[in-house]
Amino acid sequence: MSRLIAIVLVGLATVGILEAINFGKQAELHAYHVSVSPGGNELLRAPFDAGQPVTLRADAGDSLDIELDAKGKEIGGVLTIAGSNGRARLSDDKLLGLGERDCATSVSGGWECKVFWRITKPRVERLSLLPTVDAVTITSVAFSTTTISRAPATTSAALLLFLTLLVALSPLIVMTRRVSLRLELLILIGLSAGWIATTGVVSALAIAAFLVLGYFLVRLELRRRKTRTSILLLAVGFVVLVLFYFKVLAPYASAAFGQTSSLALPLGLSYFAIRLIDVIFAARAGTLKEVGAIEFFGFMLTL
């Protein structure tokens, strides 16, 4: 019993450490001054520092590459670009300079423009800043996160595909019932597992780990008739702690750190938790005498 408690505590501590590491990953902004080499046969990229203004010349083919690494998250924020002595144009054809939309006169007499930038793909996004006339001086580039949204657990296309597959396989499932109820259960388990897998690797692994540990706890509870000990409080406590972590602790910490947790609430975890508690209480009451792995996962994954 003490070993099982230690395993659960170590597991929760490991998850907490992983979350703490993930919270420390803030979006990173990098800017590079791109220019043509003196020989004209290659492009040079020099890091741009906010404390050192850079002048972009149109006749020299200069530009400023602005890269944002959102660390795999879907975020939105304000890109603030300050400059003087001319106008600039972003790669999306937005003009920056005095008198332009979303731009204002800065304290130093130049201009400062704020552009909303949204990242929707888990990759480094890039914008290019080009001079519109002879030259423009860029004094600073900064990005501040304003919104962080969670990606949907699944998409309508994935749901439609799964339902189509289920309808197509329904005659086969009915036929297998006549051959073997166990075979029918295996097919239903496979379909349910496939559907959970479409929600993402992290979510699927979290559900799989939860169900495996749940099965282990149910087996231990069934053995208590021989040892006259009960793990009811441990099993229910495990379920409650997992739900508390994903529903309360992780979202609260994400909001506090301005980050979206990579271990977001797995799809259907609350449903699986209720069914697991039902099985544990049935084992405790003695109404459930024995349960195999196929029967357990069939009950948990199928209606």
**What are the structural domain ranges in the chain?**
28-149, 153-301
Say whether pLDDT at 151 is over 80: no
Say whether pLDDT at 95 is over 80: no
Region 204-221: mean pLDDT is 84
Residues 6+ apart with CB under 8 A from 159: none
Say whether pLDDT at 92 is over 70: no
Name the pLDDT band for 256 (thresholds 50, 70, 90). Answer: very low
Whether the predicted model's global pTM rises above the 0.85 cut: no
Region 218-234: mean pLDDT is 71
Region 194-205: mean pLDDT is 73
Say whether pLDDT at 254 is over 70: no
Note the pLDDT of residue 232: 72
Note the pLDDT of residue 70: 79
Which tens digit of pLDDT belongs to each residue from 119-142? Answer: 777 678 888 888 887 888 898 898
> Exposed e or buried b for every residue in 100-109, given b needs 16+ CB within 10 A?
eeebeebeee
Say whether pLDDT at 275 is over 60: yes
Region 183-196: mean pLDDT is 80
3-state secondary structure of 271: helix
Residues 6+ apart with CB under 8 A from 126: 65, 66, 67, 68
Pair 131, 58: CB distance under 8 Å: yes
Amino acid identity of residue 72, one-letter, is: G
Mean pLDDT is lowest, of 78-87, 96-105, 211-220, for 96-105
Name the pLDDT band for 32 (thresholds 50, 70, 90). Answer: very high
Which numeric CATH code is attached to 28-149? 2.60.120
Q: Which of 95, 127, 98 is nearest to 112 (CA)?
A: 98
Query: Higher model confidence: residue 148 or residue 287?
Result: 287
Say whether pLDDT at 231 is over 80: no
Provide the 10 A C-beta neighbour count for residue 113: 23
Pair 241, 12: CB distance under 8 Å: yes
Range from 75-79, 121-125, 239-243 that averages highest in pLDDT: 75-79
Query: Higher model confidence: residue 162 or residue 220?
Result: 220
Region 32-56: mean pLDDT is 84
Mean pLDDT is lowest, of 30-39, 47-56, 258-267, for 258-267
Range from 128-137, 190-199, 224-233 that averages highest in pLDDT: 128-137
Note the pLDDT of residue 262: 44
Say whether pLDDT at 258 is over 50: no
Average pLDDT, rounded, for the chain: 75
